[in-house]
Structure 1
Amino acid sequence: MHIHIGGTRSGKPVKITASRQMTLTRILEEASERKGMDVIGIIDAHSPEVQEELIDLLESGSAAEHEDGGITYKETMLILGSEVEIKEADRGEAHFLVYMPRLRDMQSFTQWLSSRCKNVQLSSQRIRASLHELQACVAELGGLIIPAHIFTPHKGLYGSCTDSMAEVMDPSMILAVELGLSANTAMADCLSELHNKTFLTNSDAHSLGKIGREYQSMCMRERSYAEWEKAIRRVEGRGVAVNYGLQPELGKYHLTACQDCQSLVPTDASGRCPECGHKRVVRGVAARIEQLADSPYGLHPSHRPPYVEQVPLDFIPGIGPKLLQKLYDTFGTQMNVLHRVERDELANVTGEKIADLIEKARSGTLSVQAGAAGTYGKIVRE
């Protein structure tokens, strides 16, 4: 539910840091045919040129709007989203995901954004509005706001902006939060104010290969925005059935470290790095959650679904582009390889060593060097 568009079909950038291969149609093809995603959220749908491409797909019959919201393309339902940045006075900036039922609703949101940011064509723009003003706008248009990657020191709600939702926004209007790559549900439920929120595990994909590195399985009657919203609200038997998330140690901000020399730093450290002297210590997600925790680790509300750790194929040593394509050709989608194909079948394609690594990834027994200060963690071969 968090996929960026790198550029439009005319070549204009949308998400500056995303691959230019991340065009609307390439994303839809990748999600549907290689990753096995039934529903995805493109969170740059506020961009006028992206909307023009969507209109052309609809008018040509290649895509269709569902009567209950969302756009169907082949076997995939597209939920329209936008990511915005807000900086409250005397606080750090934070990112928020806004989702709308229909294209016309997103176009109205674009109009609201255009007078409050420098360039509405681009993704993740800082807007001249408070969080309460954003909540009022989105509520009026019938959409939802979900705080993005909430614990990361780089523009996460708790990582950068506040110790508590109520300090900056109306918590009752926030139905769900996005955990980010460096935290799982056991960590997030250490904050009691999150116990009534639905947890989303999203990829925040900036390249085609990163689509589906985190996702969730949802109980929905059909693919539509209305059903997706019911799942977020956990009503009428809908809801998140399983969160599939990156092993937190593989995330870029799990531990506290110096951004300059990458040395791990004690969680209570402040000021300059004790190793190199630079004042670039980045507080890790694990330390930030420990600081805010007011609930025991492992205590979950009754509605919380299982969290299944997964290791995307491109994290596994020995799997390069050629082998990855061979796995797709043999087994279909990445989800089949990660969760469904028998080990012996995998070994016939990958060899024993890589099959063993995939099997250990499934059981959560891989050795991992934790990520920190913007550098991903990695698998350690024993």
Structure 2
Amino acid sequence: MSISSYFADLHVHVGSDWYGKPVKITGSKSLTITAILEQASRRKGLDIVGVIDAHAPAVQEELTHLIEHGGARELAEGGVLFEETVLLLGAEIEIYDAASSGPIHVLCYFPTLKKMKAFTERLSHKMTNINLSSQRFYGTGRELQGYVHEHGGWFIPAHVFTPFKSMYGKGVKTSLREVFDADRIDAVELGLSSDTEMADQIEELHRYPFLTNSDAHSAIRMAREYQLVDLEQASFSEFGKALKQMGGRGVRKNFGMNPKLGKYHRTVCAVCFHPGSPSDRTCKACGSKKMVKGVADRIEELSSASSAPQRPDYIYQVPLDYLPGVGNKTYEKILEAFGTEMAIIHEVSYQDMIEVVPKNVAAAIVSMREGELEILEGGGGVYGKVQPKLS
């Protein structure tokens, strides 16, 4: 079987279960597991989508119902096929053991619904509310790593530089080894406020593949970051081989927002958003003590590498609706004309686009493709803004 390329976003949240009860409290109520699969296949054009609330019993019930009624099927190689998209079953877990300096979010993936259900049973004895997303695991990071690997899963620290609830944000002081077994980490998720070049300033990360995922809480935010992966076929087993770069498989390109667009890129005051330095304890403009250390400043503190490994290209992109002129009507119009976001972003020509949308919108999409985006930096919980070059 030959190697082909697949678009994958491995971090999407379920907003509600099929009973209408919340799973990710901050997620869209309309975003059920079925809705995610429909969105990924029919509108986003994702070949692989990872849902990281698959541990919730009601989510498992809905997925089982979908499979039993012929809407999806489990693959022998791991994963669940729905139309044109393969679902990978994941769970986002919060760790805050005695060795950590703060809460850390991690992603745990398993190949089958049976193994995910067994993980749910395990978590039910280590977690207060198994029905919700991103809940505290009452155990150690190494304990969780051990279970995941012993049952054929992947263990991936999530959005590792986010100031809150991440490995380097507050979870460890200087090294991941303070909390985790370095040999039982399968990949690292960068998050929206960092890119490959920034992350590779930390030498202990050089051994891991980098993933760029959306952390979507709503349908429109799916695939705001994603990767192109070379596999023989879309499945859990094949993606696992890609993480190990086996037999020509691997992550070939990372697509993500320019880190300057991230809402935690630079240190700023959370009250008045005045920029500051990492050493500031109070805001020099308003006197507030609510200073949020930016990802770029935190990485500079941890910087330890004199060189960097060879990595896949990191290509700056933004969701279509970030672009000036792409409101709801224009978004729906261009999607109706060309099928999926992946097709629009990667394939549709300028000439074809201007038959459907204004020239400034088509030019904005081409500018994005070519990396010609002017950025206003974000920070302190406020996203940056994009302005394409339309000359």
- Normalising by structure 2, what TM-score? 0.94
Say whether 1:106 aligns with 2:113. no
- Partner in structure 1 of residue 308 of structure 2: 300
Determine helix, strand or coil for the equivalent of 1:231: helix
Give 3-state SS (helix, strand or coil) of 1:27's partner: helix
Instruction: Give unpaired runs (5+ residues) of structure 2.
Output: 1-9
How far has the Cα of 1:300 moved from its partner? 3.5
Q: How far 1:353 moved relative to its partner?
A: 2.1
Secondary structure of 1:350's counterpart equals coil
| Structure 2 residue 194 is the aligned partner of structure 1 residue 186 | no
SS in 2 for 1:2: strand
Query: How far apart, CA to CA, are the structure 2 residues paired with 1:316 and 1:20?
Result: 26
CA distance in 1: counterparts of 2:355 and 2:42, whole angstroms: 23
Find out whether 1:9 has 2:18 as its counterpart.
yes
Partner of 2:149: 139
Q: How many angstroms apart in 2 are the aligned matches of 1:356 and 1:254?
A: 27
> Quick one: distance in 1 between partners of 2:80 and 2:367?
38
Q: In the alignment, does 2:362 pair up with 1:352?
A: no
Q: Is the 8 A contact 2:323 2:387 kept in 1?
A: no
State the SS of the aligned residue for 2:87: strand
Residue of 49, 52, 77 corresponding to 1:43: 52
Cα deviation, residue 283, structure 1: 0.7
Q: Indicate conservation of the 8 Å contact 2:111/2:236, yes or no.
A: yes
Matched residue pairs, number? 378
Task: Report how far residue 380 of structure 1 moved.
Answer: 3.8
Say yes or no: does 1:119 pair with 2:129.
yes
Partner Cα separation in structure 1 for residue 381 and residue 352 of structure 2: 36
Distance 1:350 1:250 in 2: 25
**What's the offset of the Cα at 1:145?**
0.6
Q: Tell me which residue corresponds to 2:261.
A: 250
- 1:235-271 deviations in Å (ceiling 9; x for gaps): 12211011111111111111111111111112x3321
In the TM superposition, 1:165-244 aligns within 5 A as 165-244=176-255
Distance 2:360 2:54 in 1: 42
Contact 1:258 1:373 in 2 (8 A): yes
Q: Which runs of 5+ in 1 are unaligned?
A: none
Question: What is the identity, as a one-letter code, of the residue corresponding to 2:374?
Answer: S
CA root-mean-square deviation: 1.3
Partners of 2:117 and 2:35 in 1: CA distance: 22
Q: Say whether the 8 Å CA contact 2:97–2:138 is kept in structure 1.
A: no
Q: Tell me the residue number matched to 1:280.
A: 290
In the alignment, residue 107 of structure 1 is paired with which amino acid?
A: K
Shift in Å, 1:319: 0.9
Residue 345 of structure 1 deviates from its aligned partner by: 2.5
* C-alpha distance in structure 1 between counterparts of 2:166 and 2:324, whole Å: 30
For residues 282-330 of structure 1, the C-alpha deviation after alignment (integer angstroms, 9 at most, x for no partner) is 111111111111224xx5323x211111111111122111100001011
- CA contact under 8 A between 1:45 and 1:80: conserved in structure 2? yes
In the alignment, is the contact (CA less than 8 A) between 1:312 and 1:338 conserved in 2? no
2:37 aligns to what? 28
Deviation at residue 381 of structure 1 after TM alignment: 6.7
Matched residue type, 1:247: N
Cα offsets for 1:163-214 (capped at 9, x unmatched): 2111111111112000001111111111111111010000000000001111
Report the Cα distance in structure 1 between the residues aligned to 2:222 and 2:258, rounded to whole angstroms. Answer: 16
Secondary structure of 1:367's partner? strand
1:20 deviates by 0.6
The residue that corresponds to 1:332 in the other structure is: 339
- Higher mean alpha-carbon deviation, 349-358 vs 179-188, is at 349-358
* Residue 339 of structure 1: how far off its partner (Å): 2.3
Alignment-derived partner of residue 365 in structure 1: 372
Give, in whole Å, the separation in 2 of the partners of 1:359 and 1:76.
26
Distance 1:275 1:367 in 2: 27
Aligned to 2:197, what secondary structure does the other structure show?
Answer: helix
Alpha-carbon distance between aligned partners in 1 of 2:388 and 2:227, rounded to the nearest angstrom = 28
Distance (Å, rounded) in 2 between the aligned partners of 1:286 and 1:365: 22
* Aligned residue type for 1:23: T
Q: Tell me by how many angstroms 1:88 deviates.
A: 2.5
Matched residues in 2 for 1:274 and 1:130: separation? 39
Give distance in 1, aligned partners of 2:102 and 2:18. 34
Distance 2:153 2:354 in 1: 46
Q: Is the 8 A contact 2:77 2:237 kept in 1?
A: yes
Shift of 1:364: 2.1
TM-score when normalising by structure 1: 0.96
Deviation sequence 1:80-110 (CA, Å, 0-9, x none): 0000001132611110000001111101110
Moved more, 203-212 or 274-283: 274-283
1:378 aligns with 2:389: no
1:156 aligns with 2:163: no
